[in-house]
A and B are shown apart, each in its own frame.
Chain A
C-alpha cells in the first residue's frame, strides 16, 4: 500500500515561505511527477514526504496514518537521489544489501532479493565492483536496485536522470516506467524536465514558487492548461502566447496557440511573417517566425519536410478550436 496525503503542509526556511499551505493526495500505485522550474519547491516537497526535511506546519499521512514525526527510516519509503548517493566504500552487492541489512533480514532472503534485483537491472556481472568503477548509468541502476529490494510502499525519485547523457536518459526513463508497470507501487518523481513528466506520469503536479498550479494527467495539462504558466511550461516547443490587440479579438487578455496547431502556407493565412531559423528534424520542421506584428517571435511546428528558407515570407493560420484563452489574471477562460 502506498497512499500519501499532504494536509495543509507548509515550509519556511527562516523567514522565507517556501511552501504555502498545500494539500495533495497521491493514490496507491500512482506514478506522480512533480514538475516545475528550479527553485519551485518540488524537491523540498519530496524531502518532506521522505522525512528528510521537517514540516513547519501541516501533516504528512502515509496510508491514512499520520507520519509527520516518523523518522525517515521508519516510513517504509525508498529514495533515489540525484547524485545516486551510493556508498563509495561498499561493493555494489553491499550497497544493494544495505537497507536489508538495516532491517536485519534473513541472509538467504537478502541474497534472493539482491540476485533478483541485479538480474532485473542487468547488474549481475557488476555485483562485486565498487561504485567508483561503474559508469553513470550503472550507478543509477544500483541506486534503483537499492530502492527496489526493500519492497517499499512508495519510491521517491529526486531528479534521478539529470546527471545522465541524453541517450541514456531516454533508456532509463523507459526502464523506470516498465518497473512501475511491473511493481504497481506508488512512485513520486521530481524533475524540471516537462518531457520526462509528460512521458512518465499518471499524474503531473505542476509547481511554481511552492504553489500547485495544476494537477492532472499529462493530456489534461496539454489540452486544458489551467493558467498561462502551465500553458507555457507544458509542451515542446513552447506554446506561443500572444497578448494585445490580437488577443482582444478573441475576448481574452492572452491567447495561446501551440506550434503544432498552426498551419503554414506560402500564399495565404491569418497572419504573415518572415522565416528566421528553420530547424529540420526530418519528422517535423520548426520555424521561428519574425515580424508578424504579434509581439514576440512565433514558433511553428510543421509535420514532415516543409521547404521554407530563412528570409522567406510565410503565412500562418491558427486552428481556432485549439486556441487557449486566458483572462487578465492569467486564468483559463472556458
Chain B
C-alpha cells in the first residue's frame, strides 16, 4: 500500500484529472461568468473569457423583471416543506422497520421503492384532474404534497439504512443501564440518528428543488418555483445570454453549495443502500 509514487506520475494524474474536471464544470463556470457580462460582451466574437467589464446589472434586471424572490420563496417552501413533511412521516416508519423488523419488512420496503418507479407521465392526467377538482392547481400546498409523495420512498429508505447501522446492542445497553423508552429515544437513539436524518433532509431537499416534471405541469404563475422560472426563459428571452445566465446562476447557486456537502450521502440515497 505505502508505495511511493513518483511525483511525475502524480503530476500527470493531476493534469489529466483537472483538465477533465474543468471541462465537465465548464458549462457551469461559463454561465456564472456570463452572468457578470453585458449583453454585448456575452455574445462577443470571439468570446471573452475573463477580461470583460464585470457588472451586476443582469441580476438587478432579472430580479426586477421576473420577481426572482417570489420563485425562490416558492422553491424554498415547496422543496423544504415536502422534505420536512416526508421526514416527519418517514422517521417512525423507518424506525420501526429497522428496530422491530418482521418478516414482511423487506416486502414493504421493496414495495415502497416500486412506487418510486411509477413513471410520472403515466399518472399525469389523474393528478391533474384531482388538482383541478380540489383547487390545488398552481398551489404551493398541492406541489408540496406531490413532491413529498414522490420522494417519500427515498426518504424511508435512506433513514432505514442509517437506522439499521445503529447497533442493537447499544439500545440494549441503554435498557440495561436503566433507561426508559423515553430516555432511550431521547439520549441514545436521537443523538445517534441525527447525522443520518440531516443527510436525508439535505439530499431530498436537493431532489425536490430540481424536480421538473410536476413543477412544470402543475404550476402557472402563483406557485411556480425556480424550475418554471428558468423555463420561462426558453425563448426568445433566452437569447439575452447575460440575463439568462444571471437567472440560471441564481437558480442553481444555493443547491450547488448544498450539493457539495451532500456528495457522500448521494450514493447511498440514490442507490437505496445497494452501493456503499
Min Cβ gap B113→A in Å is 27
Q: Say whether A99 contacts B169, CB under 8 Å.
A: no
Q: What residue in chain B is nearest A89 (Cβ atoms)?
A: B191
Q: What residue in chain B is nearest A152 (Cβ atoms)?
A: B176
Q: Say whether A88 contacts B183, CB under 8 Å.
A: no
Q: Which residues of A contact B180 (CB under 8 A)?
A: 73, 102
Q: Whole-angstrom distance between the alpha carbons of A103 and B174 in the complex?
A: 12
For B173, B175, B187, the residue with the greatest tally of chain A CB atoms inside 10 Å of its CB is B173
Q: Which residues of B contact A102 (CB under 8 A)?
A: 177-180, 183
Within 8 A of A (CB), among B156-197: 167, 169-170, 172-180, 183, 187-188, 191-192
Q: Say whether B170 contacts A85, CB under 8 Å.
A: yes
* Stretch of A75-83, A114-122, A196-204, A270-278 at the chain-chain interface: A75-83
Contact with A along B184-216 (1 / 0, CB 8 A): 000110011000000000000000000000000
Q: Which residues of B contact A82 (CB under 8 A)?
A: 169
Q: Say whether A81 contacts B192, CB under 8 Å.
A: no
Q: Which residues of B contact A71 (CB under 8 A)?
A: 175
Q: Say whether B192 contacts A88, CB under 8 Å.
A: yes
Q: What residue in chain A is nearest B173 (Cβ atoms)?
A: A85
Q: Say whether B175 contacts A146, CB under 8 Å.
A: no
Q: Which residues of A contact B174 (CB under 8 A)?
A: 87, 98
Q: Whole-angstrom distance between the alpha carbons of A14 and B173 in the complex?
A: 25
Q: Say whether B167 contacts A79, CB under 8 Å.
A: no
Answer whether residue A150 sits at the interface, using C-beta atoms and an 8 A cutoff: yes
Contact of A52 (CB < 8 Å), options: B167, B172, B183? B172
Min Cβ gap B169→A in Å is 4
Q: Whole-angstrom distance between the alpha carbons of A85 and B188 in the complex?
A: 11
Q: What residue in chain A is nearest B177 (Cβ atoms)?
A: A99
Are A50 and B176 also in contact (CB < 8 A) when A88-B192, A89-B192 are? Answer: yes
Q: Whole-angstrom distance between the alpha carbons of A63 and B197 in the complex?
A: 44
Are A79 and B178 also in contact (CB < 8 A) when A85-B169, A87-B170 are? Answer: no
Q: Which residues of B contact A98 (CB under 8 A)?
A: 174, 177, 179, 187
Min Cβ gap A14→B in Å is 10
Q: Which residues of A contact B192 (CB under 8 A)?
A: 87-89
Q: Which residues of A contact B187 (CB under 8 A)?
A: 98
Q: Whole-angstrom distance between the alpha carbons of A81 and B176 in the complex?
A: 11
Answer whether residue A72 sits at the interface, using C-beta atoms and an 8 A cutoff: yes
Q: Whole-angstrom distance between the alpha carbons of A22 and B158 in the complex?
A: 43
Q: Which residues of B contact A78 (CB under 8 A)?
A: 176-177
Q: Which residues of B contact A86 (CB under 8 A)?
A: 170, 173
Q: Whole-angstrom distance between the alpha carbons of A328 and B176 in the complex?
A: 45
Q: Whole-angstrom distance between the alpha carbons of A89 and B173 in the complex?
A: 14
Q: Whole-angstrom distance between the alpha carbons of A99 and B191 in the complex?
A: 17
Q: Whole-angstrom distance between the alpha carbons of A51 and B173 in the complex?
A: 11
Min Cβ gap A179→B in Å is 18
Q: List 12 A-B contacts (CB under 8 A).
A: A71-B175, A72-B176, A73-B175, A73-B177, A78-B176, A79-B172, A79-B173, A81-B172, A81-B173, A85-B172, A86-B173, A87-B170
Interface residues of B (CB under 8 A from A): 167, 169-170, 172-180, 183, 187-188, 191-192
